[in-house]
Structures are given as C-alpha cells and as structure tokens.
C-alpha cells in the first residue's frame, strides 16, 4: 500500500486476500480465463508467424498477471484505457475479442484498431474507450493526461489507465505527462510494466535507480512497486490507485516487476542479450501458473479443470483465428481515405 504521506515508493505485498479486495470466485475464474486467453493468443500468433501468415507479432507472455490485474480495476464503458503495444491482456479486459485481435494481426479491413493500417498490437477502439497509439514510445502519456483533464473538467466519474514499459520512462513525453498529471491531481493511474529490457537494453543502462516507482513522489504522487507475477497483488495495487483517483486525490505510479518470456517481437532475437538460463528461471515465476496454483490451493479450480479449460479456450482462439483469416482485406483504394474528416463520422 502507498505510504500515508505518499512520498516514498513502498512495496506492495500479497497480504491482502482476494476476499479482502472484494473478488469472488467468479471474478477469480474470469481473471484466470482472460490470462489464459492472452497466453493462447500469443502462442497462436507465433504459430501463425512461423507459418508465414502473420508477418509481425508482439508477444505478451509473462505480462498477463500485471496486465489483467491492473486492468481489472477499471470499469468498462466508463473508464479509459491508454495501452501500449504489449497490452494484449489489457485490451482483452477492456472488451476486445480474440477475433478482433486476429483481425489486426492479419491486417484485415474490419480490424477495429486501424482497418489494417497500423502494425498489429497498435490498439484502438472508440467504442471500447481504448485510445489509439502509435509506435514512438511514450507519446501516449500526455494524451492520457489530457483525457484525464477532460474527464475531470466534465465532472465525469472516469479514471484513465495508462500503460507503458520501463524504457518509456526515459522519454521526455513520459516526464512531461507525469508532471502535468501531478500538477492538476488528475484521475489517472500510470502503470509501468517493468520487464527489465527495452528490446535489448537492460534496466541498468536505462536508469540509475532500482525502481521506476521511486520517481512518483518527484511528481507529487505516490509510487508503488508490485510483483507483476502476482495478479491479485497487481489488482490490489490498482484498486487502491483507482479509488484514490476516483476520490479526486490524484495520480499513482504503479511499477509492476515482470518479465517477457519471448523476444521483444517476432523480429527480435533475445539470445543476443539474455541467457537462456535467465529466461528459464523467470518462467518459474510464470504469472499464469502461479495463479493456477493459487486457485487450486484455495479450492476454486481442480487440476483437471485447468487442462479442460485450456482445451476449451484454445478451441475458441483457433476458431477466432480461422474467422479472422477468412475476413476481407482492405481495399487498395481505401488508402487515401480518412486523411481528414469525411463528414459522416459518428
């Protein structure tokens, strides 16, 4: 929990039980299913990449705990999601379906994010409140602050979640957005998914501090470190931050310590910058397996049920792949559309 005076980063532990956080068994099972879906979307995407059907994949595996845990504390249809490209599980929580994700992977006409214009994993959907982002890093941080300003100005009961990696925190736009959010005590939560590498650059070459969260107090709001492999701890940290934001008390910077199990993208070769031993060791803290272990321990899920669920979700994902693969491509003539308003937008 953040300290009382909010001026130091404090480690959040898993001490709070799911009951104390108001999560029932149905919530736990939904959280698990979403994490599992993200993992299986990843596996399918890499399979499609090897088959030559998906030119570019941005993997999520390893980040499911911090993504689902944090996103779960926002409310669909009311709160705003400002993700970055690794946030498969965030957009699943926000309401994007695997079918829609694969429409983007295959650059299909009905891809809700961009109609096949952007690279895959560049999320966006006005209907779902998922804000479109680009490839330059941290440019979405001032956008998130501006949205939060507008929500506060319009006296909406809305909170903005803004996700990014630890590499993004080196950008000027990150500092500038954090600073503006602090000045105006905006209803926003910043979530750093710290997987220790910005493509190949290790954290020690990115910053001189151990915790990104330590920077929160420099902007006048709390920084919180949380175990990104512990989905319930991530939910707890976010729950506190969202409640604080909704109460008008301003932003929080949450840093989830996590790890990415695959290379940066399908075009990256992570053997050039991390040892296989390191990657394998990190998998011992797989957020999906840790949560399944927790669910079995508290008697919510049987081992056999986990296996059955995996088969069921994989069938759903495979069906979504097939549907998306057979969807129409964008018309070449559409290239020149939507540079400016065409006057018929909703």
Quote the CA–CA distance of 328 and 298 in Å, as a whole number.
46
Q: For other proteins, which residue of 35, 148, 245, 324 counts as binding (CB under 8 A)?
A: 148
Q: Which of 32, 63, 260, 294 is catalytic?
A: 260
**End-to-end C-alpha distance for the chain, whole angstroms:** 42
Cβ-based nearer residue to other proteins, 30 or 220: 220
Token pair belonging to 187: 């209803």
* 235 annotated active-site: no
> Which residue lies nearer to other proteins by CB, 28 or 94?
94
State the number of binding residues for other proteins (CB under 8 A): 45
| Binding residues among 48-107 for other proteins as defined by CB under 8 A | 80
Q: Using the rule CB under 8 A, which residue among 125, 170, 200, 265 binds other proteins?
A: 125
Binding residue (CB under 8 A) for other proteins from 150, 300, 306, 310:
150
Residue 175, class by beta-carbon neighbours within 10 Å (0-12 exposed, 13-18 middle, 19+ buried)? middle
Q: How far is the CB of 333 from other proteins (least distance, A)?
A: 14
Residue 170 in contact with other proteins, rule: CB under 8 A? no
What share of residues in the chain are helix, strand, coil (percent, to 5)? Answer: 45, 10, 45
The structure tokens listed for 213 are: 């969260």
Shortest Cβ 246–other proteins spacing (Å): 16
Calculate ∠ Cα 128-325-80, nearest 5°.
10
* Nearest approach, Cβ of residue 58 and other proteins (Å): 16
Strands (E), 129-244: 160-165, 188-194, 197-198, 201-202, 223-227
Helices (H), 2-51: 25-50
The residues that are catalytic are 260, 264, 273
For other proteins, the binding residues (CB under 8 A) are 80, 111-115, 117-118, 122, 124-126, 131-132, 134-136, 139, 141-151, 153-154, 172-173, 176-177, 179-180, 183, 337-342, 345
């Amino acid at each position: 929990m953040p300290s009382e005076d909010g001026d130091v980063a404090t480690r959040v532990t898993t001490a709070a039980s799911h009951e104390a956080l108001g999560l029932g068994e149905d919530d736990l099972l939904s959280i698990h299913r979403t994490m599992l879906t993200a993992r299986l979307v990843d596996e399918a995407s890499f399979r499609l990449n090897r088959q030559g059907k998906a030119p570019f994949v941005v993997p999520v595996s390893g980040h499911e705990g911090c993504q689902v845990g944090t996103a779960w504390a926002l409310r669909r249809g009311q709160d705003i999601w400002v993700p970055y490209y690794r946030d498969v599980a965030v957009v699943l929580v926000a309401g994007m379906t695997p079918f829609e994700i694969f429409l983007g992977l295959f650059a299909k006409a009905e891809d809700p994010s961009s109609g096949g214009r952007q690279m895959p994993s560049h999320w966006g959907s006005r209907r779902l409140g998922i804000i479109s982002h680009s490839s330059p890093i941290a440019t979405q941080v001032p956008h998130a602050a501006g949205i939060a300003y507008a929500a506060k100005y319009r006296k909406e009961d809305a909170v903005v979640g803004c996700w990014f990696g630890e590499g993004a925190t080196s950008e000027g736009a990150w500092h500038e957005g954090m600073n503006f959010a602090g000045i105006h005590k905006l209803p926003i939560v910043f979530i750093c998914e710290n997987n220790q590498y910005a493509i190949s650059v290790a954290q020690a070459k990115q910053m001189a501090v151990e915790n990104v969260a330590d920077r929160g107090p420099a902007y006048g709001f709390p920084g919180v470190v949380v175990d990104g492999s512990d989905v319930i701890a991530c939910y707890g940290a976010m729950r506190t931050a969202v409640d604080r934001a909704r109460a008008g008390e301003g932003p929080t910077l949450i840093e989830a310590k996590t790890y990415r199990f695959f290379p940066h993208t399908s075009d990256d070769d992570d053997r050039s910058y991390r040892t296989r031993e390191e990657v394998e060791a990190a998998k011992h803290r797989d957020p999906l397996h840790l949560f399944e272990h927790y669910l079995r321990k508290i008697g919510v899920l049987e081992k056999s049920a986990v296996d059955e669920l995996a088969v069921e979700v994989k069938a759903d994902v495979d069906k979504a792949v097939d549907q998306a693969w057979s969807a129409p491509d964008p018309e070449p003539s559409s290239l020149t559309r939507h540079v400016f308003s065409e006057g018929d937008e909703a």
